[in-house]
Amino acid sequence: MDSFLTELLWVLVFSTFFTCIASCPSVCECSPNGIVTCIGSNIIDTPKQLPTHTYKLQLALTNMQVINERSLEKKELMLRFSLTFSHLHTVHPQAFRVAPQLKSLQLSDNDLSAFDARVFSPLVTLEELHLNRNQLETIPAELFQGLIALQDINLSQNKLSSVPSGAFRGLRNLEILNIGSNYLKTLSPTIFHSLINLNKLSIHKNKLERLEAGIFDGLVNLEYLHIHSNVIATIPPEVFWSLRNLKNLTLSNNQLEFVPERSFYNMPKLSKLTLYNNPLVFLPDELMGHMPGITEFYLYATNLITVPGNLFANMSGLQTLNFHFNDVLSDLPPHLFCCLPQLQKLSLKSNNLQQLHPQHFSRLNKLDILLLNNNTLKNLPENIFQELGQLTMLDLKANELKNLPEDIFTSNTFLKVALSENPWDCTCSIRGFARWIRQNKHVVLDGQDVMCHTPKYQILRTLDSLHDEELNNCNVTTVTPSCTQGSSPTTPSATEAATSHRAQTSVEADQTSFTYDISPPFYDMLVEEQGLNFVHHNYISGWVYVWFLPSNAVLTGFLAFSHVLLVATGFFLILCNMYGIHLLSKRVEEIKALYVHI
C-alpha cells in the first residue's frame, strides 16, 4: 500500500512539472513550485499564458512601461507580483481590480512619479508593498486607506518632500515602515500614532531639522528606530520615553550639540545606540537610564572635551565601545569605565588624550582589544594594564611616548602590542624597556618600526637593537680633543677625560623625573676597541655620522666580491658597446662604397 501511494505521489509531481514546463513562456523560467521569473527587454506586458498553478510572478529588466487594467487578469492563483528594474511609469487606476487576491506587490527600481489616490484600494489582503527607488515626489493621503492587512511598506529612495499626516492612519498591523532616503524636512507629530504594532521605523537620510514632541508616542512595540543622517539640531525632552521595547536607536550624522537630560531613560531593552558624528559639546550627568542589555555604543567624531563620570554606569552588558575620533577629547574621569565587566573592545584612538589614570582599566577583566593609538600620551602609569589578563591587542602607535616601565606588560599573557611612531628616547632610562622588547620580540607587532628619536646619535636605531652594555655607563664622559688649524688630532689624556664637559638631560617616565648624563658628541677622533668595523663617516652640521659594518669575514668577502663583479660587468658592457660601434661604422662604410659603385 505504501509503495502504491509513493508511486502515485511521484506521478502527480512529474505530471505537474511537465504541465508547468509545457505552458512556460519562452522568455521565462518556471519552477515546479509555482514561481515564474521573466527577464528581458523584449517584455512589454505580463505573459498571457502561464502555468495554472503560478502563485508568484517576477518580471525584471523589461520594457514594460504601463500596468494596464488587463495586465494581471486571469491569474487568480497569483499571490505575489513584482516588476522591478524596468521603465514602468504608469499604473492604471483599475490595474488591481482583476487581482484583489495579491498579498505582495513590488514595483521597485522604476520610473513611477505618481499614483491615483485609490489605485491600491482593491488589495484588501495586501501584506507587502514596495515602491522604493522610484521618482515619487508626493503621495495622496488616501493611498493606503483600507489596506488593513499591510505589514510592510517601503517608500525609501524616492523624492518625497512631505508625507500627509494621515497617510498611515488605520494601518494597525503595519510592522515595517521605511521612508528613508527622501527629502523630508518635517513630519507631523501624529503621523505614526496609529501604528501600534510597528516594529521597525526608518526615517534616516532625509532633511529633518527637528523631531516633534510626542511623535513616537504609542509605538510601544517598536524595536528599531533609524534617524541617522538628517540635520536634526534639537530633540525634545522625553521624546523616546514611550519606546520601552526599543533595541536599536541610531542618531548619528546629525547636528546635535546638546542632548536633554534623561533623553535615554525608560529603554531597558536597548542593545545598540549610535551618537557619532554630531557636534556635541556637552553631555548632562543624567543622560543614560538603566540599559543592562546594551552591547554596542558609538560615540565618536564629536566636539566633547570630557564626559560625565557616570556616562556608562548603567550599561553593565556593554561589549563594544567606540569612543574615538573626538579631536578635542583630552580628559576622561578616573572611574569612567568602572561598571563595564563585559566589555571586550574599547577604542579610544584618535582622541587628544594626554594622560590616563592608573585605575582607568582596572575593572575591565574581559577586555580583549584596547586601541589608544593616535593620541598625545606622554607616559603611562606602571600598573595601568595589570588587571587586563585577557588583553590580546593593544595599540599605542602615534603617541608621544619616550619611555615605558620595563614591567608594564608583564601581566598580559596573550598580548600583542603596537609601539611605532613614538619619539622614543634611547638614553639610559630606556634600558629596562629595551630589554623587555628584546626578550619579547614576538609580542611587538611592529618591532622594526619602533625606532629611537633621540639622542641624535641613536636616530633610526630600533629599540630591540639596544643592548645593556651600551647603556651601563651613562655617567662616563668622553673627551673630544681640540685641534687647531694645521695640527693633527691627539689622544686625550686621563686628566682631560676626567674634566670634560658633561651634558645632563632629564626625561619623564611613569610620572617620575630621572637625570642622567650623556657624553658630548665627538668631532675629530673615533676610538674603538671591540665591536663593529669603522667604514666611513661624514661631517654634517657639527655632527659626525659614522657608518659601520658588522665584523663578519664572510659578509665582508661577499661584499668585496660583489663590488669586483659589478666593476667587471661594467667594464665588459663598455667593451661590448665599443665593439658594437665598430661594427656599425664598418657597415656604414660598406653602404657608402655600394652607393659610390652604383
pLDDT digits (tens, 9 = 90+) for 90-139: 999 999 999 999 999 999 999 999 999 999 999 999 999 999 999 999 99
> Which residues, including other chains, have CB under 8 Å from residue 168's CB and lie 6 or more apart?
144, 153, 174, 177, 191, 192, 194, 195
Average pLDDT over residues 388-411: 96
Residue with the bigger pLDDT between 462 and 8: it is 462
* Domain-located, residue 38: yes
Strand pairing category for 28-30 and 35-39: antiparallel
Distant-in-sequence, close-in-space partners of 293: CB < 8 Å, separation ≥ 6: 247, 268, 269, 270, 271, 317
Q: Which of 28, 97, 43 is nearest to 68 (CA)?
A: 97
**Number of structural domains the chain divides into:** 2
154: left (phi over 0), alpha (psi -120 to 50) or beta: beta
Examine the pLDDT at 312 and tell me if it is beyond 50.
yes
Domain membership of residue 281 (yes or no) is: no
- Tell me whether strands 503-509 and 512-518 are parallel, antiparallel or unpaired: antiparallel
The angle formed by the CA atoms of residues 332, 333 and 337, to the nearest 5 degrees, is 90
pLDDT in tens, 234-283: 999 999 999 999 999 999 999 999 999 999 999 999 999 999 999 999 99
Instruction: Return d(Cα 291, Cα 244) in angstroms, integer.
Output: 11
Domain presence at residue 131: no
**Domain interval for residue 433:** 353-469
CATH code, domain carrying 402: 3.80.10.10
Residue 103 domain-assigned? yes
Phi-psi region of 109 (alpha: psi -120 to 50; beta: other; left: phi over 0): left
Q: How many CB atoms lie within 10 A of CB 433?
A: 22
Residue 14 confidence class, pLDDT cut points 50, 70, 90: very low
Does residue 455 have a cis peptide bond before it, meaning omega lies within 30 degrees of 0?
A: yes
What per-residue confidence (pLDDT) applies to 590?
A: 80
Residue 186 lies in a domain: no
Ramachandran angles phi, psi of 458, nearest 5°: -110, 0
Burial 303-341 (b: 16+ CB within 10 A, else e): ebebbbebbbbbbbebbbbbbbbbeebbebeeebbbebe
Residue 416 contacts residue 394 (beta carbons within 8 Å): yes
The rounded distance, in Å, linking the Cα atoms of 519 and 69 is 97
**Which of 429, 427, 388, 423 lies closest to 408, judged by CA?**
388
Contact 510, 405 (CB under 8 A): yes
Terminal Cα distance for the chain, rounded: 109
**Domain termination residue (choose one: 61, 90, 111):** 111
Region 396-416: mean pLDDT is 95
Q: Where are the beta strands (DSSP E) in 85-137?
A: 90-91, 104-106, 128-130
What stretch of H or E contains 342? none
pLDDT the model gives residue 477: 44
Mean pLDDT of the 16-22 span: 44
Map residue 587 onto helix, strand or coil: helix
Identify the residue whose cell numbers are 623625573. Answer: 513
Single residue among 448, 469, 490 that ends a domain in this structure: 469
| This prediction's pTM | 0.76
Look at residue 32 and tell me if it is in a domain. Answer: yes
Q: Among 174, 115, 187, which residue's Cα sits nearest to residue 147?
A: 174
The domain boundary, picked from 469, 501, 519, lies at 469
Residue 347: closest CA among 328, 365, 327, 320? 320
At residue 226 the predicted structure's pLDDT band, cuts being 50, 70 and 90, is very high
Q: Report if residue 322 sits inside a domain.
A: no
Give me the mean pLDDT over the 324-330 stretch: 97
pLDDT value of position 191 = 97
Place of cell 500627509: 164
Would you state the pLDDT for residue 546?
Answer: 59
Q: Under 8 Å CB-to-CB from 563, ≥6 apart: which residues?
A: none
Q: Classify residue 296: in a domain, yes or no.
A: no
> Are the CB atoms for 297 and 315 separated by under 8 Å?
yes
Q: Provide mean pLDDT across the span 291-307.
A: 97
pLDDT per residue as tens digits for the range 159-194: 999 999 999 999 999 999 999 999 999 999 999 999
pLDDT of residue 513: 37
Single-letter code of the amino acid located at 248: N
pLDDT of residue 543: 58
- pLDDT on residue 541: 54
Residue 298: which pLDDT band, with cuts at 50, 70 and 90? very high
